[in-house]
Amino acid sequence: MKQKSLFIFLALMLSFSVSLFGTGPEKEYKIPYEKYKLSNGLNVILHVDKSDPIAAVYVVFHVGSAREVQGKTGFAHLFEHLRFNESQNVPQGQFFKKIQTAGGTLNGSTNVDRTNYFETV
């Protein structure tokens, strides 16, 4: 029992000493960006990075389940899924196909205070 207690004590001391000395101060990154507000009220934050041949879009709507009323819940999540359905310019089933055929990924999620979507190609 004494040996086990000593082992636990030494393990705790070792983990504490490692965290004490760490790797030094974290480097602060400055990411250049441009910010726009479109005529429809959409805020756009644009960052151009040509280090990799990809394009990524992340869209956030500041609405989620917190704005739903009792007895009428699930609409934020429903609208998240409806966003991937057909539209005036994209036929049914083609939204995922177009992105994935190009080697990209896409998804969305709903939270208490936001609904978001992302596409990367």
Give the pLDDT of the chain (121 residues) as one tens digit per residue: 566 665 666 666 666 655 556 666 778 889 999 999 999 998 999 999 999 999 999 999 888 888 888 898 998 898 888 888 888 888 988 888 989 999 999 999 999 999 999 999 9
The answer to whether 114 and 61 are in contact (CB under 8 A) is yes
The domain tally of the chain equals 1
How confident is the model at residue 28, as a pLDDT? 87
Give catalytic status of residue 80 as yes or no.
yes
The answer to whether 59 and 45 are in contact (CB under 8 A) is no
Whether residue 17 is contained in a domain is answered as no
How confident is the model at residue 29, as a pLDDT? 85
Whether residue 67 is contained in a domain is answered as yes
Catalytic-labelled residue, pool 26, 28, 80, 119: 80
Whether residue 111 is contained in a domain is answered as yes
Whether residue 4 is contained in a domain is answered as no
Show the domain range for 109. 26-120
How confident is the model at residue 112, as a pLDDT? 92
How confident is the model at residue 47, as a pLDDT? 95
User: End-to-end distance of the chain based on CA atoms, in angstroms?
Assistant: 58
Whether residue 106 is contained in a domain is answered as yes
Whether residue 21 is contained in a domain is answered as no
How confident is the model at residue 87, as a pLDDT? 86
CATH no. for residue 34? 3.30.830.10
Whether residue 12 is contained in a domain is answered as no
Whether residue 50 is contained in a domain is answered as yes
